[in-house]
Amino acid sequence: MNKSIWLENEVTFDKVSSNIQTDLLIIGGGISGSNVLYFLKDSPYKITLINNTNNNTTCNSTAKITYLQQDIYTKISKIYSQEKAYEYYQSQKEAIKLLIHIIKTEKIDCDLEKVSSYIFSNKKKNNLDLEKDFLKNYNIPFQLKKHLPISISCNHAIEVKNTFMFNPYKYIVNLKQKLNRYKNISIYDQSLATSIKKKKNGYVVFCNNKKITCNSIIMACHYPFSIEKDFPFTTYLERSIVSAFPYSYENPFSMINLDQEVLSLRTYQDHLIFLSNSHNINCKENILKEVKKHENKTQHLFQKKGEYTWINHDIMTNDHLPIAGLIQGSHIYILTGYNTWGMTNSTICAKLVSDLVLKKENEYIKLFDPNRSTNIKRLVNDFLYSISSGSRLLCDKFCKNKDFYQENVKIVKENGIAYGIYIDKKNQEHKVYNLCPHMKCNLIFNSFDKTWDCPCHGSRFDIDGNVIKGPASLNIKITKDKN
Ligand code: FES
């Protein structure tokens, strides 16, 4: 898989290699899991964190720490109310405060920079005006701009100051190294949780063929797995292409547009990080084509070629609010659905979940409640998104060879079972099941990363069938007894 600019120098912790008994198990070692661990570090609990891979959502993000998030306040106002949108704004402001506090008090080296954030548009009329009205109504300071600090076409823009950016991998790895010194904390890498069994007083989680026995689970792994819940109907996966290339600029900045074709940019040291081609993974099958489009755009706008190019997946909730809290009738907490704003939302949701574990008050319990009651506008959104996913699932059942596949990729059916075959440069055949273990969608070959990707909820597998990204937790290798 192609790695992001953040994963230059990876550090790994030990693997789970024996059975473990713990009070709390955190599944996922990205920014959500690391922040929950931080907020619980002084608790009386024994805590274990397991992480599968560093190639996670945190390390594929653009890592902006801002409350100016495209037209999110307008969108939340339309589904719920302006008051709810303002509550969300307050949560983001608090998240920024908390994150900066952690970085400063723990002296975490993560290339933190204070910058201005911009939202901009090329259109004369769109949600930028509504976003401006929202900021005005609530006396949130901003400035209107006609130009951006980069030569990119812009009709009008909004600037806010006192926002931040950092290197997300340096943040999580340095924080985890500090936390791993606590007596009550154990951190593991390359440890994939494959299933969860409910026991009388807690759970057994199967990981690397070992058992982890725990009282409660904190699911901080992007797309939750092994939970019977309505996630597939209330969320969808957005895929974007990101690249980084050398670039000279005067002052660092962070910006994103509001137009149909999303352009998101930020500076990092002597590089520009550029994200484009965001799309619902249900809608675009030919990933190589999307990468090419992104490369052409990079060339057109900046006359540059990506030194690093990678794919990012974000979970989008249909009501634009994250999901964080306790799953009803269980001892499983979740935090996910950050709608591309993972640095702030992971922090505020981690604080919420840790407060719930410690039985403390938290003002955002209702706002992010995973069991929150719905309203008609949200139901309509859920319905439309479910139709899109459902139709994908049905049309994939026909399991035809994709016309964009190169000659070295095939999908075959043998005795009614679909297989995916990839033939590598040495002419070696890699054959796997073509059915996603999560909810049985057929997989699509990603020629850019050389992976089998699920178009329904974003699970990914390497060419030999090992799962590298959930919600699927089982691999698609061909076992002898089934072959
Ligand atoms: Fe859900 Fe594949 S069916 S990730």
pLDDT computed for residue 483 by the predictor? 40
Distance between Cα 443 and ligand 1 center (Å):
9
All domains in the chain, ordered by first residue: 8-60+169-231+321-373 (3.50.50.60), 399-482 (2.102.10.10)
Per-residue pLDDT of 252-278, as tens digits, reads 999 999 988 899 999 999 999 999 999
State which ligand 1 atom lies nearest to the alpha carbon of 436: 2
Instruction: Ligand 1 pocket test: pick from 234, 236, 436 the residue with the most ligand atoms within 8 Å of its Cβ.
Output: 436
Radius of gyration of the chain (CA): 22
Distance between Cα 463 and ligand 1 center (Å):
17
Distance between Cα 459 and ligand 1 center (Å):
6
pLDDT computed for residue 189 by the predictor? 95
What whole-number distance in Å separates Cα of residue 429 and Cα of residue 414? 16
Distance between Cα 76 and ligand 1 center (Å):
27
State which ligand 1 atom lies nearest to the alpha carbon of 441: 3
Q: Which residues contact 353 (CB under 8 A, 6 or more apart)?
A: 36, 218, 324, 325, 333, 335
Instruction: Ligand 1 pocket test: pick from 230, 388, 454 the residue with the most ligand atoms within 8 Å of its Cβ.
Output: 454
Instruction: Ligand 1 pocket test: pick from 441, 442, 460, 475 the residue with the most ligand atoms within 8 Å of its Cβ.
Output: 441
State which ligand 1 atom lies nearest to the alpha carbon of 470: 4
pLDDT computed for residue 381 by the predictor? 62
Instruction: Ligand 1 pocket test: pick from 231, 336, 459, 469 the residue with the most ligand atoms within 8 Å of its Cβ.
Output: 459
DSSP state of 374: -
Distance between Cα 312 and ligand 1 center (Å):
17
Distance between Cα 471 and ligand 1 center (Å):
7
Q: Collapsing DSSP states into helix, strand and coil, what is residue 232?
A: helix
Instruction: Ligand 1 pocket test: pick from 336, 389, 438, 452 the residue with the most ligand atoms within 8 Å of its Cβ.
Output: 438
pLDDT computed for residue 385 by the predictor? 62
Closest residue to atom 4 of ligand 1, CA basis: 457
Distance between Cα 141 and ligand 1 center (Å):
43
Distance between Cα 384 and ligand 1 center (Å):
18
Distance between Cα 256 and ligand 1 center (Å):
30
Q: Collapsing DSSP states into helix, strand and coil, what is residue 126?
A: coil
Per-residue pLDDT of 74-133, as tens digits, reads 999 999 999 999 999 999 999 999 999 999 999 999 999 999 999 999 887 778 999 999
Instruction: Please count the CA atoms within 13 angstroms of the CA of 339 that sit on its side-chain side.
Output: 23
State which ligand 1 atom lies nearest to the alpha carbon of 472: 4
The closest of 231, 209, 207, 227 to 49, measured between CA atoms, is 207
Closest residue to atom 3 of ligand 1, CA basis: 439
Distance between Cα 437 and ligand 1 center (Å):
7
pLDDT computed for residue 302 by the predictor? 94
pLDDT computed for residue 30 by the predictor? 95
Q: Which residues contact 389 (CB under 8 A, 6 or more apart)?
A: 232, 233, 236, 282, 456
pLDDT computed for residue 377 by the predictor? 62
| Contact residues of ligand 1, CB 6 A cut-off | 436, 438-439, 441, 454, 456-459, 471-472
State which ligand 1 atom lies nearest to the alpha carbon of 459: 4
Asked if 37 contacts 49 with a C-beta cutoff of 8 angstroms, the reply is yes
Residue type, position 286, single letter: N
Distance between Cα 244 and ligand 1 center (Å):
29
The closest of 458, 439, 435, 64 to 235, measured between CA atoms, is 458
pLDDT computed for residue 388 by the predictor? 62
pLDDT computed for residue 392 by the predictor? 58
Distance between Cα 460 and ligand 1 center (Å):
9
Q: How do the pLDDT tens digits run along the chain, 483 residues long? A: 899 999 988 888 999 999 999 999 999 999 999 999 999 999 999 999 999 887 788 889 999 999 999 999 999 999 999 999 999 999 999 999 999 999 999 999 999 999 999 999 988 777 899 999 999 999 999 999 999 999 888 899 999 999 999 999 999 999 999 999 999 999 999 999 999 999 988 999 999 999 999 999 999 998 887 776 677 778 888 999 999 999 999 999 999 999 888 999 999 999 999 999 998 888 778 889 999 999 999 999 999 999 999 999 999 998 999 999 999 889 999 999 999 999 999 999 999 999 999 999 999 999 999 988 766 666 666 666 666 656 655 655 555 557 778 888 999 989 989 999 999 999 999 999 999 998 888 899 999 999 999 988 889 999 999 998 888 988 999 976 544
**Torsion of the alpha carbons at 153, 154, 160 and 164, rounded to the nearest 10:** -20
